[in-house]
Amino acid sequence: MAKKEKPKASALPKINAYIAGSGKVFEEQITDTLEKNYMPYAMSVIVSRAIPEIDGFKPSHRKLLYTMYKMGLLTGLRTKSANIVGQTMKLNPHGDSAIYETMVRLSKGNEALLHPFIDSKGNFGKAYSRDMAYAASRYTEAKLAPIAAELFRDINSDTVDFVPNYDNETTEPTLFPVTFPSVLVNSNVGIAVSMASNVCSFNLSEICDTTIALIKNPRAEISDTLKGPDFPGGGYIIFDADETEKIFDTGRGGFKIRSKWRFDKDSNCIEITEIPPTATVEAIKDKVVELVKDGKLQGISYIRDETDINGLKIAIDIKRGTDPEKLMKKLFKVTALEDSYPCNFNILIGGTPRVMGVREILTEWTAFRKECVKRRVYFNLNKKKSLLHLLRGLQKILLDIDKAIEIVRETDDDSEVVPNLMIGFGIDETQAEYVAEIKLRNLNKQYIINRLKEVNELEADIKKLEEILGSDRKIYAIIIEELGEVKKRYGQPRRTEFIYDKEDDEPEEDETPDYPVTVFLTEHGYFKKITPLSLRNSGEQKLKEGDNLTRIIETNNRAELLFFSDRAQVYKSKCDSFADTKVSVLGDYIPSKLGFDEGEQLFDMVITEDYSGYLIFVFENGKVAKVSLDGYITVTNRKKLMKAYSEKSPLVKIIHIIDNTEILLSSDAGKSLVFNTGMLAVKQTKNTEGVAVMTLRKGKIKLAEVITDQTRDSMRKLVVKNIPSAGFGGKALEEIIQTKFDL
């Protein structure tokens, strides 16, 4: 490498000195690079952006609401949203669009919050609609909602800390001294780096009652006062006592929310008026249309969105004779009309994210609110002490007002007035300043006597405030009183109701059309499903050049299909998922239809209606595994299962049996045997290696076939009573096997 020359001053006039080591490459561990460059960003996202704090707000929410408070929008008329967004940029440098999106979600018009903090006018979109976009900020107007007053009560009484904004031109609060646990009253969702937060909303009255109960008794039973989540969109929560307790205790878990609906007999129409908070009208409509087109949903003739100024409404016209109860039960299972809401109560406490249950969150909020009340009391105490101190000085002037006037009048220099009053009456500088600033018209005994009447009141107030500071019980009493006021002023009935549904315990009725079909599978992986009528009226099977049929099975349209690949994976499907076709078409290419991995090929197919029986896996090394077919049942709708069989030896054959039967094994070394599958123990794991059935000194298994009634007599000499066995050989035997199995 050529030696790096020092740059000339004339070429780079802004560089005053040669930078040592510039242009050199240094080795550094990737972990060190990530720690220096990525960790600060990750921590910033966690602490300053995505995770809410104990007051219930993220920094973006707090900056917006505080700006509106400083603009005087707690009272008075609304102002243009663009004006609010512009003012907020003094605290939030992330751009106007991000600020306005935050504002939209906090607004009454968007209907995303149980208790919106912004009173809006204009089109703010809807939380339940994907396509209903909000209007631009220049068209909408907003002000703070009345409940926002609870966020800023006593914010100017040193209840919370203030920090400089990003350019040090002003300050902003680090938290709001909110008088109720807003962290649990309004839902909050955030995705940070390596963690997330998902806090659902609860009814304000229930939260206030629960907080009061926990203050009075930290061991109080939460479920006595807090029934469960409450959402602005209403709906029904399918109540699960164990899951609810888990959420209350740990902050993690989930619950199901079901839409609210009614049936209009006159129009033969189902009207859905409330949906889960995780769903949108458009997503529900699209899913229903898709299911109807695929033939998986019967009885629906039309679906439309009738949402208007009166609120959400999805109308579903049903065909005559369709049972609306059964149809809705089906829709709840296959669409977002019933959906799960996951809970992850991750809250920042002192800058550290913590996942907490309801009890712990309310305990932390109470501690936070206790500190706010103490700081407010201390602030008011100092103000009253300062005023009392001034009035003490005024009290001394009452003894001789004329003397005070004479001192002021006889003093030649203005700067000497305060020192002379201090000397003349024995008061300190602060008291003297206060006396000197009194207007001449107020230097009468009546004014001074009236002011001095406040002394007794101030002394009583100071004593009371000092008692409060010295007693946690009295501070808690203040918090309880304020919670009671909030509940009385802003509490509202529950919107989300509870149902105790037992329908999930009932077996789901299979609505798949049931009729006989014949399925065909080819060596290259093509699949056809043909009805008997079509098969009778058809000609020769159309196959790809060089392809051959490997499976021809008569079954029905409700049968389940298990497609085993050459990579020990099984792909599950149903006959109903394939369209009825004809012999004149190639059929569906299974690796493409079911999304096989790149280069993965189909090995074999197993058909079952009830997952009864066993699968016999025969491997080249002479081992055979017997696995119960019901081990491939999945509770969820999983389409792909890994480790479907052992990969330690190449697979020769998969045989589905209902009862124990006899199977012929033959090796390429000329050895053969027949064994009964009853000799094999049923294995619990699908990818078991199996047990040795044929002992191979050389060669490998090349054939595995079930012994039928037609072949049993000729194979009688090959039956073994114990395994493993070396088998039997001979050319005559080989010829018999080749003849019987068309080899």
Task: Quickly tell me which residue has 């009493």 as its tokens.
Answer: 477
The reply to whether 128 belongs to the active site is: no
Residue 683, SS3? strand
What is the C-alpha to C-alpha distance for residues 215 and 469, in angstroms, rounded to an integer?
17
Q: How many residues does the chain have?
A: 743
**Does residue 724 have a cis peptide bond before it, meaning omega lies within 30 degrees of 0?**
yes
* Lookup: tokens for 557: 């349209």
The rounded radius of gyration (Å) of the Cα atoms in the chain is 40
Question: Residue 157 class from Cβ within 10 Å (0-12 exposed, 13-18 middle, 19+ buried)?
Answer: middle
3-state secondary structure of 650: coil
Six-digit token pair at 306?
């009738």
What does the block give as tokens for 440? 């001449």
Amino acid found at 675: F
**Distance from C-alpha of 620 to C-alpha of 617, rounded to nearest angstrom:** 10
Confirm if 137 and 80 have CB atoms less than 8 A apart: yes
For tokens 């993965």, what's the residue?
600
Neighbours of 701 (CB within 10 A): 25
Residues 84/68, Cβ–Cβ less than 8 Å: yes
Helix (H) or strand (E) holding 457: helix 454-469
- Per the structure block, which two tokens stand in for 150? 């609870």
Q: Which of 180, 164, 188, 170 is nearest to 58 (CA)?
A: 188
For 169, the token pair is 């031109």
Residue 634: beta bridge partners?
none
Q: Where are the alpha helices (DSSP H) in 537-647?
A: 590-593
First-to-last alpha carbon distance for the chain, in angstroms, is: 71
Q: Which listed residue (139, 302, 515, 611) is catalytic?
A: 139
Distance CA 709, CA 322 (A): 50
Q: How many CA atoms lie within 13 A of 648 on its CB side?
A: 12
Which positions are annotated as active-site residues?
A: 139
